[in-house]
Structure 1
Amino acid sequence: MIPLKLFCVVVILSANFILSAKASLDGRIIGGSPADIHYFPYQVSIQNNKGHQCGGSIIHKSFILTAAHCLEGEPVKSLKIRAGSHFSNKGGTIRHVCGATSHQNYTGKGYYDYDIAVLKLCNPLIFGDTILPIALPEFNEPIDVSTPATVTGWGTTTQESSVFSPRLQKISLVVHDQNTCRKKYKGLAEITPRMFCAGCQKAVCDSCYGDSGGALFAKGKQVGIVSWGYGCAEKNYPGVYSRVAKFRKWVKNKTGV
């Protein structure tokens, strides 16, 4: 859950929104295990000239879904994606990005509502066993509390590390009750209807630095986009995800998907 650059600390104060220095747009898999791209063929690595920066998901042969904060400070001409590989630094297929559109209501500046964007590839992907689109929910389709979900990514595997994992990682999470999610973040950040929480039930695990923009997958669909959280794998602070169902009409309007 981080812009396409290394972790940055942000402090925002306003009448209705307080974000602590540890609430970060960063994503990394903590407490996960190696993942096989054959089981997650929609997963891509979004890269700039320095390498992997964020995750994304294939929704069409020419379009990638990701988080809006992943595009901050990054000229489109510097972006490319790697698809079809377990690794972020080798194998698979490379495609350059020719266009990027963030939600018009996303402002950044420490306020992470409407954290969604789409990338237009210069050349379409060729689908196969390791490169396939992910299904999206219907507009306003609900997510049941305690629904099992999976998130994947190449983010760092400890909170202290700044080195991304070269091998794709995965963790299993469950969706949290919305009211509980709001209570956990009360005084730190507003949980809007376009966000929801997901986390581990017992083990220490989370998505964090470098996993931003990746898909939270549940019941055969992408229900969430890795967005932000208070630290990573912090007790009582689950990860916060953009609620894809709330943006279904926006995605359709921008991509036709």
Structure 2
Amino acid sequence: MSKFYFLLLFLCLANADPVKQHGSQKPSLDRRIIGGSVASITDFPYQLSFQDWGAHICGAAIIGSYWAVSAAHCFNNAPTPRLRAGTAQLGVGGTVHEVDRYVLHEQFNSWSMDNDIALLHVVTPFQFSSSVQPIGLPSQGQVVAAGTQAVVSGWGLTSADGSEDSSVLLYLNTVVFSQTQCNSFYSDYGGLASGMMCSGYAEAGKDACQGDSGGPLASGGKLVGIVSWGDGCGKAGRPGVYTDVAYYRNWISSNSGI
């Protein structure tokens, strides 16, 4: 079975916008939030800006005092990763945390986007407040039911043909699709692999996009997805594809102790 890439709302890759493909086609990484609304950081206190050389390249989410989670594909060009916490303004305010080590999933495949997950450990801990808080994690294998409401956030592009990230944090309410529906949406890519899920809308105009990659998809106060890949941004019948966090819950625990 071939596979493919994605989403969301607030997702990443500053260096390129490859054509989305999966398996025989390489998934595209241009994920940003399209059709979203301005967010307050106190409503998304787990949201992080994943930076390299001071520039935003992806999103990430706080899961513990020293740990954050993002997408493995965000490390393609990130030799000096840092995380900015506690601010809705891109590149302004909050606190900046140097990353001293990170763990990419050992079976991450940059072509198929399988196992698109990474953990980041910071030198100085996140100081929790109303604008800086960890997000809860689902249990291993916990299934998010089709039709469940979720929300994705990030500073990615706000139009499919845009060239600049949003200067303010945006969010988009989405709907989780069943795996059967996701496989139907991406049947020409061979469907989705285990460890992937999709959320968004069947109609055009709302999605995550470039700059949102690695960012959080939350539902019920828990991190259920990580913006991974998709076929363009905001296309009809192409909802965002996310890393299914519940599928990797034990991996997160074994590598971070959380």
TM above 0.5, yes or no, is yes
SS in structure 2 of the partner of residue 37 of structure 1: coil
Deviations 1:77-100 (A, max 9, x none): x11111000112101011111011
- Give yes or no for the alignment of 1:6 onto 2:7: no
Which structure 1 residue ranges, 5 or more long, are not aligned? none
- Give yes or no for the alignment of 1:18 onto 2:24: yes
Q: 1:187 and 1:57, CA in 2 relative to 1: closer, same or farther beyond 3 A?
A: same
Q: How many Å apart are 1:189 and its aligned residue?
A: 4.5
Report if aligned partners of 2:20, 2:28 keep a CA contact under 8 Å in 1. Answer: no
1:104 corresponding residue in structure 2: 106
Whole-Å Cα distance in 2 between the matches of residues 12 and 46 of structure 1? Answer: 24
Whole-Å Cα distance in 2 between the matches of residues 223 and 241 of structure 1? Answer: 9
- Give yes or no for the alignment of 1:152 onto 2:156: no
Whole-Å Cα distance in 1 between the matches of residues 85 and 217 of structure 2? Answer: 17
Report if aligned partners of 1:3, 1:72 keep a CA contact under 8 Å in 2. Answer: no
Residues 161-172 of structure 1 aligned to structure 2 (within 5 Å)? 161-172=162-173
- Give yes or no for the alignment of 1:40 onto 2:49: no
Q: How many Å apart are 1:26 and its aligned residue?
A: 2.4
Q: 1:47 and 1:173, CA in 2 relative to 1: closer, same or farther beyond 3 A?
A: same
Whole-Å Cα distance in 2 between the matches of residues 149 and 11 of structure 1? Answer: 24
Q: How many Å apart are 1:45 and its aligned residue?
A: 0.1
Report if aligned partners of 2:18, 2:29 keep a CA contact under 8 Å in 1. Answer: no
Whole-Å Cα distance in 2 between the matches of residues 255 and 79 of structure 1? Answer: 18
1:183 corresponding residue in structure 2: 184
CA-based RMSD: 1.7
2:131 corresponding residue in structure 1: 130
Q: Which amino acid aligns with 1:158?
A: S
1:79 corresponding residue in structure 2: 81
Q: How many Å apart are 1:18 and its aligned residue?
A: 2.6
Q: Which amino acid aligns with 1:99?
A: R
Q: 1:193 and 1:206, CA in 2 relative to 1: closer, same or farther beyond 3 A?
A: same
1:241 corresponding residue in structure 2: 242
Q: How many Å apart are 1:183 and its aligned residue?
A: 1.5
Bigger RCO (CA 8 Å, 6+ sep): 2
Report if aligned partners of 2:101, 2:122 keep a CA contact under 8 Å in 1. Answer: yes
Structure 1-normalised TM-score? Answer: 0.92
SS in structure 1 of the partner of residue 189 of structure 2: coil
* Deviant stretches of 4+, over 4 Å: 1-4, 10-13
Q: Which amino acid aligns with 1:54?
A: C
Q: Which amino acid aligns with 1:113?
A: D
SS in structure 2 of the partner of residue 54 of structure 1: strand
Whole-Å Cα distance in 1 between the matches of residues 97 and 20 of structure 2? Answer: 35
Q: 1:11 and 1:129, CA in 2 relative to 1: closer, same or farther beyond 3 A?
A: closer
Q: Which amino acid aligns with 1:251?
A: I
**Aligned pair count?**
249
Deviations 1:14-46 (A, max 9, x none): xxx2326xx411221000010000000000000
Report if aligned partners of 2:202, 2:238 keep a CA contact under 8 Å in 1. Answer: no
Structure 2-normalised TM-score? Answer: 0.92
SS in structure 2 of the partner of residue 53 of structure 1: strand
Residues 43-82 of structure 1 aligned to structure 2 (within 5 Å)? 43-75=47-79, 78-82=80-84
Q: 1:229 and 1:11, CA in 2 relative to 1: closer, same or farther beyond 3 A?
A: closer
Q: How many Å apart are 1:10 and its aligned residue?
A: 4.8
Task: Give the share of equivalent positions with the same residue, in percent.
Answer: 38
Q: Which amino acid aligns with 2:133?
A: L
Which structure 2 residue ranges, 5 or more long, are not aligned? 1-6
